[in-house]
């Protein structure tokens, strides 16, 4: 009998690069490392940005993006793929084609549309491609409230609407949804809502008086890392939320902007 594959599981991020080091692929790789998981990356976009905003975006040719993805799958045993900023329909199509070919066990889709600064990171023609090509492949979809509002076409202003939104988001095709509650105002407690159609859960944390940069990227990457470590999907989400809360609590402001950058390695010195 052939020997079993003894390579450790790696996590792959397909996302945008953040020159300021707080979000995107930089945050993803730090998160993987903090969880003891080897991190791989395929750069789908390059951004010129810092803690005050995004000043430029460059999207590499999709053939080069596919070459990066092929190189990762050719050599590594990939346990989970995290998807972040995919700027346009051509990029989304290329990524979907690759994922349909390689069929990774887990795909964590963070539907990045707008940066913390307010800059739009998803071209208008990409929304339909996101819905039709990637949602059906996703193990879990992790939108925040503004992203969910864009996807569903209506405002989400209270807990009842948020609960209903989870059901509607699940109907878009992903196997599970984690609706992040950080943008839902009116309570000192922040609630993230999870559902996979069978199991539902709410994860509550005290709201911190800090505006974090890269929290969504970090959360999705932590879920992917936890899946590589063998956790169930609900447990991976709960552990990831706890990790991000700690990283935000220990965040710093290395730039001139008002947003804080997470301390991804807070567990090493807390």
Does 219 fall in a domain?
yes
Does 1 fall in a domain?
no
Does 3 fall in a domain?
no
Does 227 fall in a domain?
yes
Does 144 fall in a domain?
yes
DSSP characters over 4-16: PP-PPPEEEEEEE
C-alpha span between 39 and 225 (Å, rounded)? 9
Give the global pTM: 0.94
Split into its structural domains, the chain has a count of 1
* 51, 261 Cβ separation under 8 angstroms: yes
C-alpha span between 105 and 162 (Å, rounded)? 29
Which pLDDT tens digit goes with each residue over 49-79?
A: 999 988 999 999 999 999 999 999 999 999 9
- The tens-digit pLDDT sequence of the chain (270 residues) is 455 889 999 999 999 999 999 999 999 999 999 999 999 999 999 999 999 988 999 999 999 999 999 999 999 999 999 999 998 999 999 999 999 999 999 999 999 876 555 556 677 778 889 999 999 999 999 999 989 998 898 999 888 999 999 999 999 999 999 999 875 666 678 899 999 999 999 999 888 888 888 999 999 999 999 999 999 999 999 999 999 999 999 999 999 999 999 999 999 985
In terms of residue numbers, what domain contains 28? 10-268
Which pLDDT tens digit goes with each residue over 193-238?
A: 999 999 999 999 888 888 888 999 999 999 999 999 999 999 999 9
CATH number at residue 191: 3.40.1190.20
């Amino acid at each position: 009998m052939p020997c079993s594959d003894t390579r450790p599981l790696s996590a792959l991020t397909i996302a945008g690069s953040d020159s300021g080091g707080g979000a995107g692929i930089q945050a993803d790789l730090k998160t993987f490392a903090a969880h003891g998981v080897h991190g791989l990356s395929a750069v789908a976009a390059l951004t010129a940005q810092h803690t005050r905003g995004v000043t430029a975006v460059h999207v590499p040719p999709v053939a080069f993006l596919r070459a990066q993805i092929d190189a990762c799958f050719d050599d590594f045993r990939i346990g989970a793929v995290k998807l972040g900023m995919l700027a346009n329909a051509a990029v989304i199509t290329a990524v979907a084609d690759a994922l349909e070919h390689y069929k990774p066990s887990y795909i964590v889709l963070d539907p990045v549309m707008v940066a913390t600064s307010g800059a739009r990171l998803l071209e208008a023609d990409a929304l339909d491609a996101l819905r039709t090509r990637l949602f059906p492949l996703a193990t879990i979809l992790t939108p925040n409230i503004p992203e969910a509002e864009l996807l569903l076409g209506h405002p989400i202003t209270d807990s009842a609407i948020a609960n209903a939104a989870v059901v509607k988001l699940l109907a878009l095709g992903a196997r599970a949804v984690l609706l992040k509650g950080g943008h839902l105002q009116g309570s000192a407690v922040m609630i993230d809502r999870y559902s996979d159609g069978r199991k539902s859960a709410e994860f509550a944390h005290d709201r911190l008086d800090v505006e974090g940069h890269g929290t969504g990227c970090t959360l999705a990457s932590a879920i992917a890392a936890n899946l590589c470590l063998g956790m169930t999907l609900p447990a991976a989400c709960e552990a990831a939320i706890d990790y991000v809360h700690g990283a935000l609590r220990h965040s710093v402001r290395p730039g001139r902007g008002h947003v804080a950058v997470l301390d991804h390695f807070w567990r090493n010195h807390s």
